[in-house]
Structure 1
Amino acid sequence: MLAQNTLNSARMRVSSTYVLAALVVLGVACHGPLERAAASSARLQTAVTIFAGVFVQAVPFLALGVTVSGAIAAFVSPALLRKVLPRNETAAIGVAGLAGMALPGCECGVVPVARRLTDQGAPGSVALAFMLSAPAINPVVLIATAVAFPGEPGMVVARFTGSLATAFTMGLLWSRIGRPGWLLPRAARHDHCVTGHSRWQIFTETARHDLLQASAFLVLGAVAAAALHVLVPPSWYEHLAGQMATAILVMAVLAIVLALCSEADAFVAASMSALPLLPRLVFLVVGPAVDVKLFAMQAGTFGRQFALRFAPLTFAVALVCGTIAGLACLGGAR
């Protein structure tokens, strides 16, 4: 029995941190063969360059985002947010949406906060408006967008406007059509923000969790950006760029599939320079609102029936809001 407990404890201690460390060591050990393989192919060299560019540009903003996310989890109580909400539900939706500006963090970290808001008595529409706005309009995301699109301030304004409009619209729609029974209570929640017994433990665990998870999706996005440049013929981009409606829909679906971190997705969108700004903006508005990882998180936190209702509606609203914001702020479909 003692040996079994020791084995179980050892398994529990093999966390994602150790997996990441092992992968880093493996990468360093294989540096020589990988470098020789890249040098043997011009296309592979191009892919490596694009991957490194996207990843290196995004890492500082990712690090800042997870640091602030950890600090918020440790020092900002969801009860405080509940106290400042107006009693009028429509006004509360507006306040909750704007409150997202001050709470940067990964989408995964915002879902449990929204769950706690509903547990404390906040209307579901208010919690959902906050859940959609926080990862999309916070300062870290907006600054990252400005850096990824230098000389295009309209992209920052359009992303802020489209994402905030998505949060407000979904909050108002849910206040009209939503039912309390759709937000099912769940006993087992993915709530990394409350682990630990001290503020420092909460800070370090939240930051570690967000960094590892967001880094994984950043790597996936950088790989996808490199692959799209190398594997997809330039003529395909030119053809897609000439069909604006198709390009918008394709980029919206791509945002769902890639499931990038909102603090790094702007650099992936910027790397798709052959496409017009409008489809890339829709990519940035849809991604933080609905993707495959968010669907799984929301299903586990609020219930599968909620996620099946919420995700398709959110996709449609984000697609429309992103397109309208782009047309208004980017000077047309460019």
Structure 2
Amino acid sequence: MVAPEHTGTVDPGGAPPATAEPAPAPAPTGPPRNRLTDRIGSVEVLAALLILLIALREPLAALLSAPSLATWTTVFVSVMVQAVPFLVFGVLLSAVIAVFVPRSFWARALPRHPALAVPVASAAGVVLPGCECGSVPIAGSLIRRGVTPAAALAFLLAAPAINPIVLTATAVAFPANPEMVLGRAVASLIVAVIMGWLWLRLGRTDWIRLPHRPDLDDARRGVAFWSAVRHDIVHAGGFLVIGAAAAASINVLVPERWLQALADEPVLAVLAMAVLAVLLSICSEADAFVAASLSQFSLTARLTFLVVGPMVDLKLISMQAGIFGRGFAARFAPATFVVAVIVAAVTGMVLL
């Protein structure tokens, strides 16, 4: 007799073959998901805020009726209403330049001699404008494409200050003082050229870290365009709100006699407005309206505010440090501040 064959394996103790069982499903490692919080987004938050405002409309109306808060609201809303159209238009132009203008165009358009390329690149800010939020990454792209750093940095400083959008906004903000437009254009162009030439003389290429902006390198230009628009409008719009709120707060909280005492000292007024421009970090398409609201100060002091702001402020220093490196920002920003204050003060004394 032949023993039957077993298809499975038999252990030495004669136990029947083990059958394979499916492995248990792994237990979830994270906390249980809440379906309610998963459905809460920006639309739901906005709806909740609107409902809250409706419910509290009477206490809010009583609060806003206070004279000081009414003045604050008036100044804030007036700055925002006047500045937002210029900000949006400037951001759209900046995105068009960053995405649709070929980066190799600049290398072909600029003179080969670096000393001549600096003033040409500075003047190009009139033809191809962009706000400071867009000019920093554009300047980095120019350097990456082979444009001499001095020319790219001159464009970085000039474009946010002398482009048609900014000059038009300045004319609208100062309807009784058209010389402010000329003073801003001349002083800003001089500062950009001086800083470009100073970089040729004293700058070192190892201070600059070559930039990378992946949202502008997208193969689909439409996607890159809207990405640039969203990026710049969020950053520039946020700083505009902060700047408008700060300007309104200065008008309400700071006693008039303090501002007047500071404004009566020409040197202190110029320095105070220069420091204020750095701290407020307002987009260049909107800063003229904030400067116009500070009517206690002289035109020269407010011109200093308009020249310094688009070239040296907190957001620009942080952007320059992130794109070009901390070593570059630590050297370039203070030098630009000093040159801008001196040139703006001299220009104001001559033209205003």
TM-score by length of 1: 0.88
Q: How does 1:13-162 map to 2 (within 5 A)?
A: 22=45, 26=49, 29-30=52-53, 32=57, 33-39=59-65, 41-162=66-187
Return the offset for 1:70.
2.0
Q: Secondary structure at the match of 1:30?
A: helix
Give the aligned residue type for 1:92. Answer: A
Distance 1:233 1:20 in 2: 40
Distance 1:251 1:235 in 2: 17
Correspondence 1:278 to 2:304: no
Q: Corresponding residue for 2:8?
A: none
Distance 1:291 1:55 in 2: 20
Q: Corresponding residue for 2:245?
A: 223
Return the offset for 1:213.
1.2
Give the aligned residue type for 1:199. Answer: R
Q: Does the aligned pair in 1 maintain the 2:171–2:181 contact within 8 Å?
A: yes
Return the offset for 1:105.
2.6
Q: Corresponding residue for 1:10?
A: none
Distance 2:169 2:148 in 1: 32
Distance 2:327 2:314 in 1: 15
> How many residues get paired?
315
Distance 1:43 1:93 in 2: 48
Distance 2:344 2:47 in 1: 38
1:169/1:47 CA distance change after superposition, 3 Å: same
Q: Secondary structure at the match of 1:105?
A: coil
Q: Corresponding residue for 2:336?
A: 314
Return the offset for 1:294.
0.9
Runs of 4+ displaced beyond 4 Å: 1-4, 18-25
1:23/1:316 CA distance change after superposition, 3 Å: farther
1:81-100 residue CA offsets vs partner (Å, 9 max, x unmatched): 12111011111001100111
Correspondence 1:177 to 2:219: no
Distance 2:304 2:167 in 1: 15
TM-score by length of 2: 0.84
Return the offset for 1:50.
0.7
Name the structure where helix makes up a greater proportion of residues. 1
Q: Corresponding residue for 1:198?
A: 220
Superposition CA RMSD, Å: 2.3
1:230-265 residue CA offsets vs partner (Å, 9 max, x unmatched): 111111122112100000001101111111101100
Q: Secondary structure at the match of 1:122?
A: coil
Unaligned runs of 5+ in 2: 1-25, 34-39
Percent identity over the alignment is: 48
Distance 1:103 1:20 in 2: 37
1:198-230 residue CA offsets vs partner (Å, 9 max, x unmatched): 222122221222112111111111101110111
Give the aligned residue type for 2:73. Answer: V
Q: Corresponding residue for 2:3?
A: none
Return the offset for 1:156.
0.4
1:169-194 residue CA offsets vs partner (Å, 9 max, x unmatched): 000111001111111335xx4x3651
1:242/1:142 CA distance change after superposition, 3 Å: same
1:69/1:329 CA distance change after superposition, 3 Å: same
Give the aligned residue type for 1:26. Answer: L
Q: Corresponding residue for 1:267?
A: 289
Distance 1:305 1:256 in 2: 19
**Bigger shift: 18-27 or 30-39?**
18-27
Distance 2:338 2:230 in 1: 33
Q: Does the aligned pair in 1 maintain the 2:143–2:210 contact within 8 Å?
A: no
Larger-Rg structure: 2
Distance 1:306 1:90 in 2: 20
Higher relative contact order (CA 8 A, sep 6+): 1
